[in-house]
Structure formats: structure tokens, C-alpha cells
Amino acid sequence: MFMRNLTLICAIGALASPALAQDAARTAAALPETLEETGERAPATVPQSSSETVGDIVPADNAYGVGQPATEEEIAAIDIDVMPDGRGLPEGSGTYAEGEELYETICAACHGSDMMGISDLGAPQLIGGRGTLATDKPVKTVESYWPYASTFFDYTHRAMPMTAPGSLTTDEVYAISAYVLGKAGITGTEPDTMLDAASMAEVEMPNADGFVADPRPDVAE
């Protein structure tokens, strides 16, 4: 008898559930307004600019009333390019030993402790590959391909590490450069081997003669 009553109660509950769900208040997104003339949806309200001031809008002069002139500080933050002959290298220095510690902390997770790269992460091999560029399987690395050490400094300074580009100090970049170039057999591997602006500019890369000089005039001079 008890089981019969329990089954009856469960059956009534199951039948009542959809009805209770239908009685619950339903919500829906408001439909967009329509135009009386055509019945088409009215255009959405144009977002208002949060800018306090709006400049002149003259499309013919490429003036659209947005943006502002960059400050000297903002320009200085990105004006860090270094020329192949070393012009633009900043003050500072770093040693092979300092670079080894920094590399293991900052760089090894992507490029590997052996600097052979981790393809699954898209991080390239940094050393090795000399003599392979003219073969069917060229291996382009800092050691085999890059013609100037200053280019390596510039790229590392502005683009590394991948998770925080531009966050390395100049001393840290010099130290990491000393370690990578040392492991590549280009500079020394003694712990106190040091790189700075003067010594970096004098580094001779293995592939320095592997590029054709740009015949175009240097319009910057």
C-alpha cells in the first residue's frame, strides 16, 4: 500500500512540473524599433565619444577629430631602434654569467635550455645551423643567419619575452645577448665575458657577408 501511494505521488509530481515551469516568469530581449514607413528596423543609436574634446573633422585632409599628438615620452619609449653598425645601442652592460641566469628564468621556457627551440610553441632555434643556408634544409638561427649582433640586441629589446615585450632592461638584454652569442661560439663563454655598446658593435657574426648590400641611397642622411 505504501509503495502504491509513493508511486502515485511521484506521478502527480512529474505531471505537474511542466505546468509549474510554464507559470514561471519568462524574459526576452526587447525587439528593435521599426520604421512606420517601411517596417524596417530603425538604425541603432550612434555611440557617443567619451573624448572630452573633438578635433576638426576634415576627411579631405585626413583629419577625423580623433587621436592626439604623441608626447616626447611616448615617442622615446618606442624610439629604441639600433643600426647595424651599432648606432643607437644604449648605455649599459651584461655578462655571460648574468645572461645564463636570466635565460633560464625568462627564455628557456620557450626556446629550451639547449636553445634548440620548441616548435609546438613557435619558438625558433637560436643556435646552430652554420653552413646550412645553401642546402635543401636551411636552419636559420641567430648564429647561422643574422648578419649583425646589434640586430639581435634590437629585436630582443623590443620584442622579448613574448609574454611581456619591451619589459627587459638594457642590462638584461646585454647579458642575454652575451649568453646566447657565447653559446653560439661567437663570443666568449667565460662567466665575466661582458657586452656593452662598444663591444656589441664589434661582434662579427658568421653570416655577415651572406647578404647583398642595399643599393638604394640612404635618404635619412
Instruction: Label the pairing between strands 93-95 and 63-64.
Output: unpaired
Matching residue, cell 620584442 = 159
More confident residue, 57 or 118: 118
- Alpha-carbon distance of 180 to 124, in angstroms, equals 13
- The angle at the Cα of 3, spanning 10 to 9, to the nearest 5 degrees, equals 20
User: Strand, coil or helix: what is 108?
Assistant: helix
- Alpha-carbon distance of 110 to 124, in angstroms, equals 8
* 180-209 confidence digits (pLDDT tens): 999 999 999 999 999 999 999 999 999 999
Residues 48-71 have a mean pLDDT of 76
Instruction: Count CB-CB contacts under 10 A for residue 155.
Output: 14
- The angle at the Cα of 156, spanning 153 to 160, to the nearest 5 degrees, equals 170
Inter-residue contact 80 to 157 (CB < 8 Å): yes
User: Grid coordinates in use for 61?
Assistant: 585632409
Regarding pTM above 0.85, the answer is no
Inter-residue contact 170 to 69 (CB < 8 Å): no
Predicted confidence at residue 214, as pLDDT, reads 82
In this model, does residue 17 exceed pLDDT 70? no
- Alpha-carbon distance of 87 to 221, in angstroms, equals 14
In this model, does residue 73 exceed pLDDT 90? no
- Alpha-carbon distance of 181 to 176, in angstroms, equals 8
Residues 88-104 have a mean pLDDT of 97
Identify the helix (H) or strand (E) that includes residue 93.
strand 93-95
pLDDT category, 36, cuts 50, 70, 90? confident
* 140-187 confidence digits (pLDDT tens): 999 999 999 999 999 999 999 999 998 999 999 999 999 999 999 999
Predicted confidence at residue 31, as pLDDT, reads 72
- Alpha-carbon distance of 156 to 177, in angstroms, equals 8
More confident residue, 31 or 170: 170
* 121-142 confidence digits (pLDDT tens): 999 999 999 999 999 999 999 9
User: Which backbone phi and psi does 173 adopt, to 5 degrees?
Assistant: -65, -40
Predicted confidence at residue 5, as pLDDT, reads 55
Residue 123 bridge partners (DSSP): 118
